[in-house]
């Protein structure tokens, strides 16, 4: 059985998946932003199996790095990282928001946070190969404008969300190449379209699927060898936005990412 860190576990897809994984016998380290909700979740999970809770605001890169340090120190056996936490598009017409570090909020939480968390935990995952990294993306993808990566012009919450998920997919493919031969697999998936979550309802969409519909693909990537550097739509292998495979786009993204993480 594996030891897994699952971000964004206190609601929606993350909560459902946490219970499925614990019931299957895995040790699940659940992350939440709210201490009380995280504590209650851990109590419920421990009635089913082995779980532990960690609290961090992923809008703060300092807290992201502290989360990685705490998990790595407490669980050197960690062999699965599931980057599930994310922000949706927000209410229609809502304005641009900033993270604790001054970055556009959706790019910060949906992209910079998982990149930073993954990078900090890579030594632990490498040491426990075969290991897996699962990035929860979206079919909603929109290439970044590298002249304005933080969307300071003509802001749209939906565009911000789609750009962050494009970046996550492109980063996944780059990281998979960098980790080739290491025994650490990294994949990205779109769990299901418009699941019945607060994120979807807040954005004004009518839910089309349940979180249970989105769980099988995520659980499969976390528990089975399905290759690396791949994009899945649910349980089916699929294609991300074609620009996410472009080496020049990925090179420019890596350069911008490095600058944002150092800023």
| DSSP H stretches of helix in the chain | 12-23, 35-46, 61-74, 105-107, 113-127, 157-178, 198-202, 211-223, 247-262
- Residue 161 is a catalytic residue: yes
Beta bridge partners of 118: none
Tokens of 249: 């786009």
Which is catalytic among the residues 54, 111, 155, 161? 161
Tokens of 232: 């899945």
Is 104 in contact with 29 (CB distance < 8 Å)? no
Contacts of 231 (CB under 8 A, 6+ apart): 137, 169, 172, 187, 188, 189, 190, 237, 238, 239, 240, 244
67 token code pair? 């989360």
**Which residues form the catalytic set?**
161
């Amino acid at each position: 059985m594996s030891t897994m860190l699952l971000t964004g576990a206190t609601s929606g897809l993350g909560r459902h998946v946490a219970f499925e994984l614990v019931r299957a016998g895995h040790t699940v380290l659940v992350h939440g932003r709210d201490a009380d909700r995280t504590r209650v979740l851990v109590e419920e999970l421990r009635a089913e199996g082995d779980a532990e809770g960690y609290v961090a605001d992923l809008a703060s890169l300092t807290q992201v790095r502290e989360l990685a340090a705490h998990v790595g120190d407490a669980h050197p056996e960690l062999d699965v990282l599931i980057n599930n936490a994310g922000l949706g598009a927000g209410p229609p017409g809502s304005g641009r928001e900033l993270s604790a570090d001054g970055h556009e909020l959706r790019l910060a939480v949906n992209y910079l946070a998982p990149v930073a968390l993954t990078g900090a935990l890579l030594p632990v995952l490498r040491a426990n190969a075969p290991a897996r990294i699962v990035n929860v993306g979206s079919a909603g993808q929109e290439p970044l404008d590298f002249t304005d990566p933080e969307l300071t012009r003509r802001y749209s919450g939906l565009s911000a969300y789609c750009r962050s998920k494009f970046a996550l997919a492109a980063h996944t493919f780059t990281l998979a190449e960098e980790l080739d031969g290491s025994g650490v697999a990294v994949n990205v998936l779109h769990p299901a379209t418009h699941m019945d979550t607060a994120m979807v309802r807040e954005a004004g969409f009518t839910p089309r699927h349940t979180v249970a519909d989105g769980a099988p693909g995520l659980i499969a990537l976390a528990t089975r060898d399905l290759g690396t550097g791949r994009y899945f739509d649910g349980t089916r292998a699929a294609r991300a936005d074609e620009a996410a495979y472009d080496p020049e786009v990925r090179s420019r993204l890596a350069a911008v990412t490095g600058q944002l993480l150092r800023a």
